[in-house]
Chain A
Amino acid sequence: MRQPLSIFNFKNPKCWCVLFFLVIFIGDRVIAQVLKTIVNQSQFRYSKLYGQTAQSDFLLIGNSRGLVFHQPTIAKLTKKTTINLSYNSMPVDLACAIMKDYFDLYPAPRCIFFEITMLNYNNKKLISNFMMYRSSANIKKLVERNFPKLNWWCNFSHIYQYNGEVLLRTLYYMFKSDQDWALRQQANISQVKKNINNMERFRYQAKQEDLENLRDLVKLVKSKGSDIKLIIQPLFPGFVQKIKNFNDWKQRISKFTGLKIYDYSQIDFPDHYFVDRVHLNVSGAKAYAKLLYQDGIFK
Chain B
Amino acid sequence: MLFNSTIFIIFTLIFMPIYFHLRGEDRRWWILLCSYVFYGWWDSRFLLLIAFSTGIDFLIARSLYESSCSNKRRMLLITSICTNLAILSFFKYCNFFIDSASFLMIELFGQHTNVKSLQIILPVGISFYTFQSMSYTIDVYKKKMSPEKNWVIFASYIAFFPQLVAGPIVRAKQLLPQFQQDREFNWQEFTLGFAQILVGYFKKIVVADSLAMVVDQIFTAPNSFNALNIFLGIFLYSFQIYCDFSGYSDIAIGLARMLGFHFPRNFNTPYFSKNFSEFWTRWHISLSSWLRDYLYIPLGGNRYGVVNTCKNLMITMLLGGLWHGANWKFVFWGLLHGIFLILQRFSSPIFNKCCEAIHLPKILRLLFAIFITYLLTCVAWVFFRSDSFSKAINVFYYMFTGNWTFANLKNKFPLVKGIFVVFLLLSCEIIHWKWNFTDIIVRRPFVRILIFAVILWSIALLGSFNETTFIYFQF
Q: Residues on A close to B: CB < 8 A?
A: 10-11, 13, 16, 19-20, 23-24, 27-28, 31, 153, 157, 159-160, 162-163, 165, 168-169, 172, 184-186
Contacts and interface: CB of A to CB of B under 8 A. Distances in A.
B461 interface: yes
A172 B462 CA distance: 16
A157 B460 contact: yes
Contacts of B413: 165, 168-169, 172
Q: Which of B187, B417, B446, B453 has its CB near the most chain A CB atoms (within 10 A)?
A: B453
A164 B457 CA distance: 14
B463 interface: yes
Interface in B440-464: 445-446, 448-450, 452-453, 456-457, 460-463
B10 interface: no
B408 interface: yes
Interface string B399-438: 0000001011000011011000000000000000000000
Contacts of B405: 185-186
The 5 closest A-B pairs by CB, nearest first: A10-B445, A185-B408, A159-B460, A160-B460, A168-B413
Contacts of A159: 457, 460-461
A113 B354 CA distance: 68
Contacts of A31: 457, 461
B441 to A, nearest CB: 12
A5 to B, nearest CB: 16
B187 A13 contact: yes
A28 B407 contact: no
Range of interface residues on B (Cβ < 8 Å): 20 to 34
A85 to B, nearest CB: 18
A28 B460 contact: yes
Contacts of A27: 453, 457
A162 B405 CA distance: 31
Given A163-B460, A168-B417, 11 more contacts: A10-B446, A13-B187, A16-B448, A28-B460, A31-B457, A31-B461, A160-B460, A163-B462, A165-B413, A168-B416, A186-B405
A236 to B, nearest CB: 16
28 contacts: A11-B445, A16-B445, A16-B448, A16-B449, A19-B449, A20-B449, A20-B453, A23-B453, A27-B453, A28-B457, A31-B461, A153-B465, A157-B460, A159-B457, A159-B460, A160-B461, A163-B460, A163-B461, A163-B462, A163-B463, A165-B414, A168-B417, A169-B413, A172-B413, A184-B407, A185-B405, A185-B408, A186-B408
A185 B407 CA distance: 5
A162 B463 CA distance: 11
Contacts of B407: 184-186
B457 A23 contact: no
Interface in B76-100: none
A160 to B, nearest CB: 5
Contacts of B453: 20, 23-24, 27
A35 to B, nearest CB: 8
Nearest to A149: B6
Nearest to A9: B445
Contacts of A172: 413
Interface in B366-411: 405, 407-408
A165 B463 CA distance: 11
Interface string B156-178: 00000000000000000000000
A23 B463 contact: no
Contacts of B417: 165, 168
A13 B450 CA distance: 15
B239 to A, nearest CB: 19
Contacts of B465: 153, 163
A168 B413 CA distance: 7
Q: Which of B407, B452, B456, B460 has its CB near the most chain A CB atoms (within 10 A)?
A: B460
Contacts of B452: 20, 24
Contacts of A20: 449, 452-453
Nearest to A20: B449
Q: Which of A13, A169, A172 has its CB near the most chain B CB atoms (within 10 A)?
A: A13
Nearest to B223: A191
Nearest to B463: A163
Nearest to A191: B223
Given A13-B187, A159-B461, A23 B408 contact: no
A23 B450 contact: yes
A117 to B, nearest CB: 20
A165 B460 CA distance: 14
Contacts of B463: 163
B459 to A, nearest CB: 9
A11 B443 CA distance: 9
A197 to B, nearest CB: 16
B460 A23 contact: no
B63 to A, nearest CB: 47
A186 B417 CA distance: 24
Nearest to B226: A185
Interface string B280-307: 0000000000000000000000000000
Contacts of A23: 449-450, 453
B260 to A, nearest CB: 15
Interface in B172-228: 187
Nearest to B408: A185
A28 B456 CA distance: 9
A165 B414 CA distance: 7
A259 B33 CA distance: 65
Nearest to A24: B453
B317 to A, nearest CB: 39
B345 to A, nearest CB: 45
Contacts of B408: 185-186
Contacts of A169: 413
Contacts of A13: 187
Nearest to A13: B187
B419 to A, nearest CB: 12
Contacts of A165: 413-414, 417
Interface string B85-117: 000000000000000000000000000000000
Contacts of B416: 168
Contacts of B445: 10-11, 16
Nearest to A276: B224
Contacts of A184: 407
B13 to A, nearest CB: 14
A10 B445 CA distance: 6
A23 B449 CA distance: 8
Contacts of B446: 10, 19
A10 B461 CA distance: 28
A157 B460 CA distance: 7
A277 to B, nearest CB: 12
Nearest to A168: B413
Nearest to A185: B408
A20 B414 CA distance: 32
